[in-house]
Amino acid sequence: MFEIFGIPSQALFGQLLLGLINGSFYALLSLGLAVIFGMLNIINFTHGAQYMMGAFAAYFLLNGFDVVLPHFAATWPPTFTSVHIGVGLSYWWALILAPIIVGITGLIIEQVFLQHLRKLDPLYGLLLTFGLGLVIEGLFRNAYGSSGQPYQAPAALQGGRNLGFMFLPNYRAWVIVLSFAVCLVTWFAIERTRLGSHLRAATENPVLVRAFGFNVPRMVTLTYGFGVALAALAGVMAAPIYNVSPQMGSDLIIVVFAVVVIGGMGSILGAILTGFALGVIEGLTKVFYPEASNTVIFVIMAIVLLIRPAGLFGRRA
């Protein structure tokens, strides 16, 4: 145990770790927003709700869920029984299945709603996804109230290790490593592979890419699904750290918007780096000036807007 600037090392590194965890979520969520924005030219306001759906999907896969069924007898008023459907799939399954399930709901949203907005002002995409977010959050709040449901970290990742200068819980280390890996793979897939180059070309000039025989509308749909799946993955990872609650996404997404404004959505790598960096800065603020920890990211956003309006990694349109 030693001290840095009069702060015990435990507290300092503890907050730094928490900052990195928050940074992982900022990075994953702003990455998803950037990917979606690139192809669809809309800001996905439903992102926070989809992150929440990811966490709930993990919760349902583990604990099962209740389905209310009416009795098929000729009685009036009808009686209902609630049937518990238990699946009992562990965290590891949720890590794969939840993004797929929520991603599919994303595909449906794109097909039913968003594809009709392509020729309109981006403002309408904003309004529509905002409304969808309210609907989803409202439905979950109706069903599960405002209090959170606990979700256990998997047995293999419980406990922690003593690094000498701090105690490192295994699950938190795992979150940081996994989200960093997912970010890197996404960056590689978009910037360095053939598929990614098609995507980027379709972003630049959809008409031309379509003329080359690529199915651009399908690429757009799948991109939206992928961005949503990233949000859901972040939700699964967040479930054991924070409680699973209907409003877990709505406040977080506003901070992520600030992160996106700071980084600029021009570059994938920019979104990732800004996410992690701002998480760390927020963590450090909690140590040195806790009163400002809620607002520091917004203050940084204001400063960046004054100095570099296009964002740190953005290109001036």
Partner 1 sequence: MERALEPSVLARSRDTNWSLGVAFVVMVVVFAVGPFVVYPVFLMKALCFALFACAFNLLIGYGGLASFGHALFFGWASYVTAYTAKAWGWPPELAIVAGTATAAVLGVVAGGLAIRRQGIYFAMITLALSQMMYFFALEAKFTGGEDGIQGVPRGRLFGLFDLSHEMTMYVFVLVVFLAGFLVIYRIINSPFGEVLKAIRENEPRTISLGYKTERYKLVAFVLSATLSGLAGAMNALVFQLASLTDVHWTMSGDVLLMTLLGGLGTVFGPVVGAFIVIAMQNYLAPFGQWVLVIQGAIFVVCVLLFRRGMVGEVAQLLRVPL
> Residues interacting with partner 1, by CB under 8 A?
37, 42-43, 113, 116-117, 120-124, 126-128, 130-139, 141-142, 250-251, 254-255, 257-258, 260-261, 291, 294-295, 298-299, 301-302, 305-306, 309-310, 317
d(CA 120, CA 216): 18
d(CA 253, CA 4): 33
Nearer Cβ to partner 1 (122/159): 122
Query: Least distance from C-beta 145 to partner 1, angstroms?
Result: 9
Query: Least distance from C-beta 110 to partner 1, angstroms?
Result: 14
- Helical residues (DSSP H) of 215-317, grouped into ranges: 216-238, 248-263, 268-288, 296-307
d(CA 169, CA 255): 25
**Torsions phi, psi for 69 (to 5 deg):** -120, 140
Q: Which residues contact 189 (CB under 8 A, 6 or more apart)?
A: 195, 196
Q: Which two tokens stand for residue 25?
A: 């979520």
Nearer Cβ to partner 1 (126/280): 126
Nearer Cβ to partner 1 (169/283): 283
Query: Least distance from C-beta 105 to partner 1, angstroms?
Result: 15
d(CA 39, CA 228): 13
d(CA 43, CA 36): 7
**Torsions phi, psi for 143 (to 5 deg):** -80, -35
Query: Least distance from C-beta 139 to partner 1, angstroms?
Result: 6
Nearer Cβ to partner 1 (1/306): 306
Contact 28, 50 (CB under 8 A): no
Query: Least distance from C-beta 7 to partner 1, angstroms?
Result: 22
Nearer Cβ to partner 1 (194/316): 316
Query: Least distance from C-beta 297 to partner 1, angstroms?
Result: 8
Nearer Cβ to partner 1 (125/169): 125
Cis peptide before 150 (omega within 30 of 0): no
**Torsions phi, psi for 39 (to 5 deg):** -90, -40
Nearer Cβ to partner 1 (135/156): 135
Nearer Cβ to partner 1 (169/264): 264
Query: Least distance from C-beta 185 to partner 1, angstroms?
Result: 26
Amino acid making up residue 300? I
Is residue 260 within a helix (H) or strand (E), and if so which, with residue range?
helix 248-263
Query: Least distance from C-beta 245 to partner 1, angstroms?
Result: 13
Contact 188, 194 (CB under 8 A): no
Contact 148, 243 (CB under 8 A): yes
